[in-house]
Structure 1
Amino acid sequence: MLFRTRRLAAASVAVTAATALVAGCTSGSGSTSGASGDTLTLWTHNAGNSVELDVVKKIIKDFNGSQDKYKVKLQAFPQSDYNNSVVAAASARKLPCLLDVDGPNVANWAWGGYLSPIDVSGSEVPVSDQLASTVGDYKDKLYAFGFYDVSLAFFARKSVLGEHGIRVPTMDKPWTKDEFDAGLAKLKKSGKFEYPLEMGTGGTGEWWSYGYSPQLQSFGGDLIDRDDYKTASGTLDGKNAVEWASWFHSLVANGHMAKKSGADPNKDFLAGKSAIQWDGSWNAAKNAEKLGDDLAIIPPVDFGNGPKIGGASWQWAMSSTCSNKAGAQEWLKFSRQTKYFVDYAKATSTIPATDAAAQQIADYQPGGKFDVLVQFAREYATVRPATPAYPYISTEFEKAAKDILAGADPKNALGQAAKDIDSNLKTNNYYSN
């Protein structure tokens, strides 16, 4: 399959990163023949993340030892360069047979010709058993799957909320916008917190879409019209979206949240600098260790259209240029064992993608201290728009949201983002090919 020379939505690629990746692969197929059978190269973004990388290594070792027809060879790269480097390697037709992909990018990589649909039927864990956010579909075909997801939540100290007369919400009765705003006002008025709310505004990149677009969606807006994925105008800059943006700016204007948070928002929360933190399940264990029974894990605010959080994390896929797709799919099928779903969740403190795996982890079992995070992922997760335009959409949303916090007119900032996204869609023939 020829890679399309389109104006991809991904960012420009660093030549050094591309060179490092291309040099690490001996053929464009990602598969070579040898005495021990076909060798399948696998790339992962986990260099520097030893706990997750160790699970990948374990699966590879088990697979290689289970048969002598195929051998998987690991190459790990830093996450910071991974996405752009894959784009460069794809253009040079130097992709491996197996690679991981961030869930929101599956549609873009499938459209761009990097990935082939996969068939993992007959594996121990059926795809239908997984959280919907951990399955990467595009145009009704399966392109990727993940072993875990993460969940957004508010974290707070029960004692602090109680001291200020603020109710601890539940999934049955989450905070409303008015209740949330009133609580923040009480905390601010107490004089104990310069900024009572911490939402990680010092972050960059995908955090902005992952962290804040669910709140936009709870207001009734969205990043794009999902009926046909052909326009953002009227949706990203519609009445509901502008209401979200005005509220988002008010958090800074009212002194409830810093325009740019510190380098480690979770550390600041645990130190008592903030009263409420909007953060991910990846810090739940650390918070529980420090705060014990005083920790409140709180569902997202219902801004009018139900509580929302982002969905989809890293997933595994097969490249379109793999010369041994049968072997690559054998590895994918082999990896789909409940024990590996359990291993990933234990190693990374993430939410297992299946109920069967969750039941083997005390904290995630029904009634476990982090079971509520599984429920959040199941009930509230909204997958970011499954369109090849998503990387561009995400970049434009980040720019607009930062401008809004800095004081830009909400309607104008969102309107410009919508126009730019519509222009990108039109330039790429609405990603219809």
Structure 2
Amino acid sequence: MTSAVLVGFCAISTSALAKTDLTLWSEGAGNPGEIKVLKEVVKDFNASQEKWNINLVAFPQDSYNDSVAAAALAEDLPDILTVDGPVMPNWAWSGYLQPLPIDPSLVKDFLPGVKGYWGGKLYSIGLWDAAVSMVTRKSTLTKAGIRIPTLEKPWTKDEFESVLQKLKATGKYEYPLDLGMAWKNEWYPYAFSPFLQSFGGDLIDRSNYQVADGVLNGEDAIAFGKWWQGLFSKGYVPGTSQDPADRDTGLIDGKYAMQWNGNWAALGVLKEFGSDTLFLPAPDFGHGPIIGAASWQMAVSSKSKYPEGAADFIKFAMQDVYLAAFSDATGFIPPTKSAADLTGNYNEGGLMAGFYDLAAAQGRVRPVTPGYVVEAKVFLKALSDLANGADVVDTLDNAADEIDADIKKNRGYGHK
């Protein structure tokens, strides 16, 4: 009897000590710095408590969304998953996610772009943000007699046109500006729809998210379309056939005078140009200077049986020390000022501190609607067609019609 009691006691003790396994899916397999820090966070969290054990599975970013969709179809989603900020409303609407069970006051000091809200509820939170700037050299602008813009006084539309003309007239560059046309997919709506918004247009009417007609093809949008097309017809920027290698090294190699690029590419430019590097704000085309906001975020799947455990891990990862570590490893923007102060690049006086200010002052999230995934593809095609000489009015009319048809097909995507 004593042996039986002892065996039973051991079984109970072992059961009491066993942790519950939770699975975390990440899109960051192709980013060594991101995954290294994420593995450290997982290791520290698992060691910090006795209830939960996180198992990390990393996917290549290009195949990640398809993997999540397949898992959702098979009802085999992980407990925790990363989601691209603008895609989150679609996943929430599709039933992939559940509201994030954390107190919203915990994210009150986070940059607006990293907070993923849908239907008035917080569904995801980003451990970093991204921002785009006009990257160039101070010496480039000074030699051409060009004013260096500031957040308080960015270039106007007419001034920006003059800048491109002056840089082209130097004869030193293949193109005055590199927009990154070699990067397809999400780059186009992320990097270029803010230009449309600064003109006064948008992908969709954000007052109700039910119609693109009149917004994507209205007078302001047509003015944007003509300006956009003019960048190519005037020889200011490379076209849609740009060599990806030129996108990566063209600014450093001297092929381009300026480059519209993100903070993730800043470290390489700083290494080459040092204190001569400038990260400039977006031009103001009439309705304020705007850049895209929101990057990859963490969320809890609708299939998780342990949302409190998933939330505990996400809250653990939200500590400033980890936010700073992600930034130092990847170059991304820390989502809080207190985390930025812990970094080597975004602290006060840091070489990349201006990106934090850009994100805070100019960042605007892409349309918060499940239909964004369609809008993004339609916009990409429209901009490509315009760059290649398509009629501006017809192209934007067709794009608006396609988006409106998709919204109707999906019964308004749940907007009320």
- Same fold by TM-score greater than 0.5: yes
Deviations 1:358-409 (A, max 9, x none): 1112421233222111110000001000000010000000000000001001
> Does structure 1 residue 324 correspond to structure 2 residue 302?
no
- Identity, % of aligned positions: 43
- Residues 200-239 of structure 1 mapped to structure 2, 5 A cutoff: 200-239=180-219
1:350 aligned residue: 332
1:376 aligned residue: 358
Give the superposition deviation at 1:35: 6.8
The correspondence for 2:158, drawn from 155, 167, 178, is 178
> Does structure 1 residue 62 correspond to structure 2 residue 44?
yes
CA contact (8 A) 2:18 2:51 kept: yes
Instruction: Structure 1: give runs of 5+ residues left out of the alignment.
Output: 1-32
Aligned amino acid, residue 243 of structure 2: G
Aligned amino acid, residue 193 of structure 2: S
- Please give the alpha-carbon distance, in whole angstroms, between the structure 2 residues aligned to 1:50 and 1:366: 27
Aligned amino acid, residue 202 of structure 1: A
CA contact (8 A) 2:144 2:166 kept: yes
Give the superposition deviation at 1:172: 1.6
> Does structure 1 residue 249 correspond to structure 2 residue 242?
no
CA contact (8 A) 2:85 2:297 kept: yes
The correspondence for 1:262, drawn from 233, 243, 257, is 243
The correspondence for 1:46, drawn from 3, 28, 33, is 28
Give the superposition deviation at 1:121: 2.5
> Does structure 1 residue 110 correspond to structure 2 residue 92?
yes
CA contact (8 A) 2:328 2:345 kept: no
The correspondence for 1:386, drawn from 361, 368, 377, is 368
Instruction: Structure 2: give runs of 5+ residues left out of the alignment.
Output: 1-14
- Please give the alpha-carbon distance, in whole angstroms, between the structure 2 residues aligned to 1:424 and 1:414: 15
1:80 aligned residue: 62
- Please give the alpha-carbon distance, in whole angstroms, between the structure 1 residues aligned to 2:302 and 2:318: 21
The correspondence for 2:379, drawn from 397, 414, 418, is 397
Larger radius of gyration: 2
> Does structure 1 residue 95 correspond to structure 2 residue 77?
yes
CA contact (8 A) 1:36 1:71 kept: no
Give the superposition deviation at 1:34: 10
1:297 aligned residue: 279
- Report how many residues are paired: 399
Secondary structure in structure 2 of the residue aligned to 1:129: coil
Deviations 1:159-183 (A, max 9, x none): 1211111111111211111111111
Secondary structure in structure 2 of the residue aligned to 1:424: helix
- Please give the alpha-carbon distance, in whole angstroms, between the structure 1 residues aligned to 2:398 and 2:185: 19
Range 190-199 or range 403-412, more displaced: 190-199
CA contact (8 A) 2:135 2:259 kept: yes
Range 224-233 or range 405-414, more displaced: 405-414
Secondary structure in structure 2 of the residue aligned to 1:363: coil
- Please give the alpha-carbon distance, in whole angstroms, between the structure 2 residues aligned to 1:361 and 1:284: 15
> Does structure 1 residue 339 correspond to structure 2 residue 317?
no
- Please give the alpha-carbon distance, in whole angstroms, between the structure 2 residues aligned to 1:340 and 1:181: 42
The correspondence for 1:280, drawn from 233, 240, 262, is 262
Secondary structure in structure 2 of the residue aligned to 1:148: coil
- Please give the alpha-carbon distance, in whole angstroms, between the structure 1 residues aligned to 2:139 and 2:311: 51
Give the superposition deviation at 1:246: 0.7
Q: Structure 1 runs of 4+ off > 3 angstroms?
A: none
Over aligned residues, Cα RMSD in angstroms?
1.5
CA contact (8 A) 1:120 1:332 kept: no
Aligned amino acid, residue 408 of structure 1: A
- Please give the alpha-carbon distance, in whole angstroms, between the structure 1 residues aligned to 2:127 and 2:233: 40
2:140 aligned residue: 160
Deviations 1:121-154 (A, max 9, x none): 29xx821110000010101101000111111000
Give the superposition deviation at 1:266: 3.7
Give the superposition deviation at 1:185: 1.1
Greater helix percent: which structure?
2
Secondary structure in structure 1 of the residue aligned to 2:25: strand
Deviations 1:314-346 (A, max 9, x none): 000000011112221221222221111111111
CA contact (8 A) 2:86 2:372 kept: yes
Aligned amino acid, residue 67 of structure 2: S
> Does structure 1 residue 146 correspond to structure 2 residue 146?
no
- Please give the alpha-carbon distance, in whole angstroms, between the structure 2 residues aligned to 1:278 and 1:329: 36
Secondary structure in structure 1 of the residue aligned to 2:23: strand
The correspondence for 2:178, drawn from 198, 202, 205, is 198
Secondary structure in structure 2 of the residue aligned to 1:315: strand
How does the TM-score come out when normalised to structure 2?
0.93
Secondary structure in structure 2 of the residue aligned to 1:241: helix
Aligned amino acid, residue 23 of structure 2: T
CA contact (8 A) 1:266 1:277 kept: no
